[in-house]
Homo-oligomer: A and B are copies of this chain.
Amino acid sequence: MLETTDTKTQLLDCADDLIQRVGVNAMSYNDLSVAVGIRKASIHYHFPKKDDLVQALLARCSDAASQKYKSVARSDASVREKLDTLVGLYNSTLQNDKACSISMLSVEYQTQSETVKQSLDAAIKNTTSIYEEIFAQGKKEGLFAKAFDTHNAAFALYGFLIGTQILTRPLAERTIFLKAAKSYIDSLFR
């Protein structure tokens, strides 16, 4: 029982990595089998259908993201620091040639099963509501220049982060992400 990591987790790890790089539709069970070092058919033992894999992956990454974002939003840091930390998280995945799994799946939304679609909807709403906590704090502390609705502001930030991430990936000059983020966040404060 001294296994490094159990196969199911390895599969999810590799699938997640592949999806963040090329998307769900470009990731095949064959790619996965090579990455994990297991025969293609054996993956079906753990995840009978590809949809099962995607569902499990989405559930896992949704939970992980939720936890990560909550720990940022509910820390004792300042609003500015919290937003900067969030930007840092997106920047590090970007610098690894990846993009947020949820945004990758959102793009390929129409090709997914009904279950995955619903989970995606929930995941987006969940993340938005966590980001909203940060804006609620900032609003309470009177830090912002405009009296915006916190929900709209949170969704706007979320969209901004995944959007600039997606647009930056094709560019050679990747420092633009952090610069744009600074520009965006600066404009929020009074």
Contact = CB atoms under 8 A, between A and B. Distances in A.
Contact of A187 (B117, B121, B145): B145
A145 B183 CA distance: 11
Nearest to A158: B167
Nearest to A105: B170
A66 B26 CA distance: 29
A160 B159 CA distance: 6
B166 A159 contact: yes
A133 interface: no
Given A25-B26, A146-B187, A156 B160 contact: yes
A109 B169 contact: yes
A4 to B, nearest CB: 28
A149 B175 CA distance: 14
A125 B110 CA distance: 28
Interface residues of A, number: 54
Interface string A150-168: 0011011011111111111
Most buried by B among A22, A23, A163, A171: A163
Contacts of A155: 164, 167, 176, 179-180
A1 interface: no
A2 interface: no
Contacts of A107: 23, 99, 103-104, 107, 166
Contacts of A172: 121
14 contacts: A22-B108, A106-B169, A107-B107, A121-B172, A145-B145, A153-B183, A153-B187, A155-B164, A155-B179, A158-B164, A159-B167, A160-B163, A163-B163, A163-B166
Q: Which 6 A-B pairs have the closest CB atoms?
A: A163-B163, A159-B164, A159-B163, A156-B180, A152-B183, A25-B25
